[in-house]
Amino acid sequence: QRTDSNIDHTISLKIEIKRVLGTLNAKQKDILCKFFGIGIPFPLSLKEIGTTYDMSAERIRQIKDVALKQLNTEQKKNLLKTYL
């Protein structure tokens, strides 16, 4: 059963994820959100995302990997570590 504390924790996590994703450019953010299913009912494959952008799945993978590398900094990891 969810408590007010759990709800506050979830809201706070969503805010931090949004803040961290906001450090990416719009395309990187959109690709990561679609790939991980953030803000949509289910995640999309690289090929499905590629169709949206008229790009190959390989190019989408490259953009995704660069975006994840940009998020993989100590400062950004520390923002989200407290939620683990």
Q: What is the DSSP letter of 1?
A: -
In the block, residue with structure tokens 């994820």: 17
In the block, residue with structure tokens 């706070």: 12
Question: For the chain (length 84 residues), average pLDDT per consecutive 10?
Answer: 70 85 94 94 97 97 95 76 68
- Measured in degrees and rounded to the nearest 5, phi and psi for residue 19 equal -65, -45
pTM: 0.80
- Measured in degrees and rounded to the nearest 5, phi and psi for residue 42 equal -155, 155
